[in-house]
Amino acid sequence: MNSQLESLAKAIKRKKKKKKRCKVITVSSGKGGVGKTGVSISLAYALSSIFGKKVLLLDCDIGLGNVHVVLNLRPDKSIRSLLNGEKIENVIQSVKGLDVILGFSGIESFIDFESFESADFIYQLEKVFENYDYVVIDNAAGLNKQTVSFSRIADSTYIVTTPEPTALTDAYAFVKSMYKLYDYSSFKVIINMCASKREGYKTYERLRDSAKTFLGLNLPLVGILPFSERVKECLLKKKLILESYPSDPYSLEIKRIVQLEVGEIIKEDLKEGFISRLLGFLK
Ligand SMILES: Nc1ncnc2c1ncn2[C@@H]1O[C@H](COP(=O)(O)OP(=O)(O)O)[C@@H](O)[C@H]1O
Ligand SMILES: [Mg+2]
């Protein structure tokens, strides 16, 4: 019995060593313009500035990358430099306590992405990810090779939609495809640009009910973000809403979402601690 316990303890130790410490979150949507970039930057900033997590923000909205505009970063120092033999570590830029890797804009970027795949781009990234508590990926809208690749390695995918019917239909189509084609189901829903909590919840119910009825899938809601002129204002002024207006309802809801996210991690850690403690006790 003792030797069985010992080998179980060893196996758990090995698993713990192997286990990625980093949690990968992708922020995705069916339709563009629903607020993914704003949400990605806000989540990353809250994780780092409020919860003290080591965060990497990855702008993967290749072709329409705009994280650098909001964060005032050098656009030439981007994923693109990897194609010229630059080391991935040299592509990381630091701002406001966050590490950021930029995608790049321009039509040719879609062609370049093929080269990244052959250069085992995702494998390189995963190695860098190991240095962080969280990686937040600002994904492109819709389903393509790149969004699928990133979502499939993600621990959770935050689906952002607005109450607008087309955004909602496209969000459902994204969830359906990821689930049916890739058996991926770790979604969390954020409804953005809501006139009221009621409108946000009604929108969520439509998405939740379709997913339940047609896919048998549970879609948890994690946040209802209000429409806020301050989001636009901050974008124009290249400021972060959480920094400039920490008490704005948008900022408060972002903090709540992150609290939920971090709380889950704490729960998981406790579970592991409990098993280790149990083994120690039995020994
Ligand atoms: N909650 C919000 N309230 C008001 N405007 C918003 C909100 N979220 C996003 N926006 C605005 O919508 C536009 C698109 O946002 P963005 O984050 O770039 O979307 P995406 O990355 O999905 O294309 C921006 O002009 C942004 O300021
Ligand atoms: Mg964007």
pLDDT in tens, 95-144: 999 999 887 554 445 445 555 555 566 667 777 888 999 999 998 787 77
Residue ranges of domains in the chain: 25-265
Q: Please identify which residue in the block is written with the tokens 């439509």.
A: 206
Counting from 1 in the atom list of ligand 1, the atom nearest the Cα of 141 is 22
Q: Is 251 in the pocket of ligand 1 (CB under 6 A)?
A: no
**What band does 78 get if pLDDT is binned at 50, 70 and 90?**
confident
β partners of residue 194: 226
Q: Find the mean pLDDT for residues 196-211.
A: 97
Q: Which of 105, 115, 101, 171 is nearest to 143 (CA)?
A: 171
Q: How far is the CA of 196 from the centre of ligand 2 (A)?
A: 24
pLDDT greater than 50 at residue 147: yes
Q: How far is the CA of 67 from the centre of ligand 2 (A)?
A: 7
Q: Give the pLDDT score at 44.
A: 97
Q: Give the pLDDT score at 111.
A: 47
**What band does 88 get if pLDDT is binned at 50, 70 and 90?**
confident
Architecture field, domain 25-265: 3-Layer(aba) Sandwich (3.40)
Q: In the Cβ-directed half-sphere of 78, how many Cα atoms lie within 13 Å?
A: 24
Q: Give the pLDDT score at 283.
A: 47
Q: Is 210 in the pocket of ligand 1 (CB under 6 A)?
A: no
Neighbours of ion ligand 2 (CB under 5 A): 36-37, 61
pLDDT, one tens digit per residue, over 228-252 is: 999 999 988 889 999 999 999 999 9
Minimal-distance CA residue to ligand 1 atom 14: 33
Counting from 1 in the atom list of ligand 1, the atom nearest the Cα of 38 is 17
**What band does 32 get if pLDDT is binned at 50, 70 and 90?**
confident
Q: Is 235 in the pocket of ligand 1 (CB under 6 A)?
A: yes
Q: Give the pLDDT score at 239.
A: 92
Q: Is 220 in the pocket of ligand 1 (CB under 6 A)?
A: no
Q: Give the pLDDT score at 113.
A: 57
Q: Other C-beta atoms within 10 Å of 93: how many?
A: 18
pLDDT greater than 60 at residue 20: no
pLDDT, one tens digit per residue, over 37-57 is: 999 999 999 999 999 999 999
Q: Give the pLDDT score at 274.
A: 52
DSSP string, 205-256: HHHHHHIIIII-----EEEEEEP-HHHHHHHHHT--HHHH-TTSHHHHHHHH
This prediction has a pTM of: 0.84
Direct distance between the N- and C-terminal alpha carbons of the chain, in angstroms, rounded to an integer: 10
pLDDT, one tens digit per residue, over 175-202 is: 999 999 889 999 999 999 999 999 999 9
Lowest mean pLDDT: which of 18-22, 141-145, 242-246, 268-272? 268-272
